[in-house]
Structure formats: structure tokens, C-alpha cells
């Protein structure tokens, strides 16, 4: 009978536990287990930090559930979280986006956040960070910052730098394009046509974002070629010339941009920076796309003794000048 009694007691206790009617000793054990489980859950989620802002306490977990909307994060909390962070995580990126989109944030706060993002994304940025950026609200927030500060070149250019550095993967590039980065870059170039710094970072950004034929053709149809040519004509410096040629190469190649005028632009840049091998190679790439049989045939005038075009000639001046030599 003893085994039967023991079995009955065990069965009885199990039924009570299932029904929630546990004896005192069993309940104590269960409560301790529940408390331990909740503590374990908190440990798994990571430490939860609290900060007092405006008389109330704002809780922001590190890896657990995050605020449902960026706008719910107070500006002071967002700025402090971004400032204190040594590296980005999901919460910090949420705070960065919240700070950029907060209507109370001024240019100083925006530049502080953008500078921090730019530092985290300094080459070579890890694929993990780029993926976090792409899946967060940062692309939209940064593109909106370009629009918000389009009348203030330093802040707008800094936002463009963040887009450039965070567009290292197909996922992040697509995120910025969907956020309207190309449209904002076009507007920024139109607004500051003679600002070399703005034009340069916009040219770099254009080259970085134009990775597929559909996007490149859309850029061509929206006037990207004329903007690039205008920038190169307004600023003869090496960086604008090189990055302008890089953008033209993409627009002429996968964007199928009209050839008219591009040959002259490339030849002019090459002649002005004839000692810069990298720039000349970039110009040659553009010329190969827009000039028929560029440097594939020896120049008849050169063979006769003199060519009035000199380095601007699209035909080869000797075997060493042949394309691919």
C-alpha cells in the first residue's frame, strides 16, 4: 500500500500544481523559481538603465524590448545615450534616429549625432554595423537631415558623409535610396552649385548609390548628368574632377547617359590633371564609354609628325598610349 499511497500523493500534488493550488512548501519553491526565472530573463535581455528627465524616470533597455516609436524618446535621453555609447547597438541607433527627427533638436545636436555616426562608420565599417544601420530608422532620419539642413552646407554635407559611409552593402544602399537620398542629393547640388565641398560629397554619394541600371537610368532622366558636369565646370579641383568622372562613368555605363558633351568634359579633366595617373585612368574609362574606339587606333596626324589636339586626342599617340597597353 505504501507505494500506492506515495504514488497517490505525488499525483495529487501534481494536480494541485497544475491548478495553481500548491501547498505552502511547494508554493515557496515555485515562487523562488519564478523569481529566479524573471531575474534570468532580465539578465538575458541585458542591463536596463534608467535616467531621470524632467522629473520622471525613463527606462531604456539595452537589448530587450525597445520603445515602439522613435519620437517617444526624450531628446535629452537620446543625446545622452548616443554620447555615452562606445559603439552602436539597436538602442543607441534608435536614439540617434530619435534625436535627428526630434523637432526640438537644433543644428548642434544634429551635428553631434551625425559626427558620432560618421565615426562609427569610418572605414572599414563592419558588416554587422552596416546591417544594423540598414534595418534601423537611421537611413530615413539622415536623409531627412539633409533636407532639414539643406540651407546649411556643413550640416548637410555631414549627413551626406554618413550616407556615403553607411552605403557599403546592397541592403544599406537600397535603404537609403528608398528613403529618398538621390532626390535630396540632387536638390542639395542645385541649391549650392558653387560650393565645392557640397558638390564633392554629393558626387561621391551619387557614385556610391548608383549600383543598378534602374536607379542609374532614373538618375539620368532626372538630370544627374547635367548636375555632374556643372559641378566639374564650377570647381576645377582634383577631388571634384575625379569624383565627377566616377559618377559620369556609372551614368554612361549602366545609366545609358547620352554621350553628347561627356567626351569634352573628360578630356578637359584629363588635360588639367595630366600628372594624376588615377584621374587620367578614370577619364579614360569615361572616354572608352562615350568615344568610339577610344585609344584603340593610332592617330594618323601623330604618325605624320604632329597632332594639334595633343593629350586631348582620342586616338593613340604611340603604342604605349594604346588602350590596355
pLDDT tens digit string along 210-254? 999 999 999 999 999 999 999 999 999 999 999 999 999 999 999
Residues 98, 92: Cα–Cα separation, whole Å: 10
CB 73 within 8 A of CB 94: yes
Mean pLDDT of the chain: 81
Residues 202, 230: Cα–Cα separation, whole Å: 13
State whether residue 157 is helix, strand or coil. Answer: helix
pLDDT (0 to 100) of residue 7: 37
pLDDT for 16 beyond 80? no
| Cα–Cα distance list, 311 to 110, 240, 317, 321 (Å) | 47, 21, 8, 10
Task: Say if residue 304 is in the same domain as residue 225.
Answer: no
| Cα–Cα distance list, 58 to 61, 89, 190, 230 (Å) | 10, 18, 43, 50
Residues 216, 165: Cα–Cα separation, whole Å: 20
pLDDT tens digit string along 50-108? 444 344 334 333 333 323 336 789 999 999 999 999 999 999 999 999 999 999 999 99
What letter would DSSP give residue 85? -
C-alpha cell at 177: 535610396
Task: Say if residue 139 is in the same domain as residue 215.
Answer: yes
Task: Say if residue 182 is in the same domain as residue 233.
Answer: yes
Task: Say if residue 287 is in the same domain as residue 300.
Answer: no
Preceding amide of 124 cis, omega within 30: yes
Judge residue 65's burial from the number of C-beta atoms within 10 Å of its C-beta, 0-12 exposed, 13-18 middle, 19 or more buried. exposed
The percentage of the chain sitting over the pLDDT mark of 70, rounded to a whole number, equals 78
Task: Say if residue 247 is in the same domain as residue 312.
Answer: no
State whether residue 298 is helix, strand or coil. Answer: strand
Task: Say if residue 161 is in the same domain as residue 277.
Answer: yes
pLDDT (0 to 100) of residue 155: 97
Residue 179 lies in a domain: yes
The residues pairing with 56 across neighbouring beta strands, listed in sequence order, are: 53
Task: Say if residue 225 is in the same domain as residue 311.
Answer: no
C-alpha cell at 302: 601623330
pLDDT tens digit string along 133-185? 888 889 999 999 999 999 999 999 999 999 999 998 888 898 899 999 999 99
The CATH number of the domain holding residue 123 is 1.25.10.10
> Higher pLDDT residue, 272 or 34?
272
The residues pairing with 48 across neighbouring beta strands, listed in sequence order, are: 61
C-alpha cell at 218: 532614373
Domain that holds residue 223: 75-293
| Cα–Cα distance list, 321 to 30, 173, 296, 311, 324 (Å) | 85, 37, 9, 10, 8
Task: Say if residue 231 is in the same domain as residue 300.
Answer: no
Task: Say if residue 279 is in the same domain as residue 298.
Answer: no
Preceding amide of 267 cis, omega within 30: no
Amino acid at each position: 500500500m505504501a507505494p500506492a499511497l506515495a504514488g497517490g500523493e505525488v499525483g495529487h500534488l501534481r494536480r494541485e500544481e497544475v491548478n495553481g493550488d500548491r501547498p505552502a512548501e511547494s508554493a515557496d519553491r515555485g515562487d523562488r523559481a519564478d523569481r529566479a526565472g524573471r531575474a534570468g530573463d532580465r539578465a538575458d535581455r541585458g542591463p536596463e538603465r534608467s535616467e531621470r528627465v524632467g522629473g520622471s524616470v525613463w527606462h531604456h533597455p539595452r537589448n530587450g524590448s525597445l520603445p515602439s516609436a522613435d519620437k517617444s524618446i526624450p531628446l535629452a535621453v537620446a543625446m545622452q545615450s548616443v554620447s555615452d555609447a562606445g559603439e552602436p547597438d539597436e538602442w543607441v541607433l534608435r536614439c540617434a534616429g530619435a534625436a535627428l527627427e526630434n523637432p526640438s533638436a537644433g543644428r548642434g545636436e544634429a551635428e553631434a549625432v551625425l559626427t558620432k555616426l560618421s565615426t562609427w562608420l569610418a572605414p572599414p565599417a563592419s558588416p554587422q554595423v552596416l546591417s544594423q544601420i540598414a534595418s534601423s530608422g537611421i537611413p530615413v532620419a539622415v536623409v531627412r537631415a539633409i533636407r532639414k539642413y539643406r540651407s546649411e552646407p556643413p550640416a548637410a554635407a555631414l549627413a551626406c558623409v554618413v550616407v556615403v559611409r553607411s552605403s557599403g552593402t546592397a541592403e544599406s544602399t537600397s535603404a537609403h535610396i528608398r528613403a529618398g537620398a538621390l532626390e535630396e542629393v540632387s536638390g542639395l547640388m542645385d541649391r549650392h552649385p558653387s560650393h565645392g565641398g557640397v558638390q564633392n560629397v554629393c558626387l561621391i554619394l551619387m557614385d556610391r548609390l548608383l549600383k543598378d541600371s534602374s536607379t542609374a537610368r532614373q538618375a539620368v532622366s532626372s538630370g544627374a548628368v547635367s548636375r555632374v558636369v556643372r559641378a566639374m565646370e564650377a570647381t576645377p579641383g582634383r577631388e571634384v574632377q575625379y569624383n565627377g568622372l566616377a559618377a559620369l562613368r556609372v551614368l554612361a555605363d549602366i545609366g545609358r547617359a547620352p554621350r553628347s558633351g561627356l567626351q569634352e568634359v573628360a578630356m578637359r579633366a584629363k588635360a588639367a590633371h595630366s600628372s594624376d595617373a588615377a584621374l587620367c585612368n578614370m577619364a579614360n574609362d569615361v572616354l572608352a564609354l562615350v568615344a568610339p574606339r577610344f585609344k584603340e587606333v593610332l592617330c594618323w596626324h601623330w604618325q605624320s609628325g604632329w597632332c594639334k589636339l595633343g593629350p586631348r586626342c582620342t586616338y593613340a599617340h604611340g603604342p604605349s598610349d594604346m588602350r590596355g597597353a
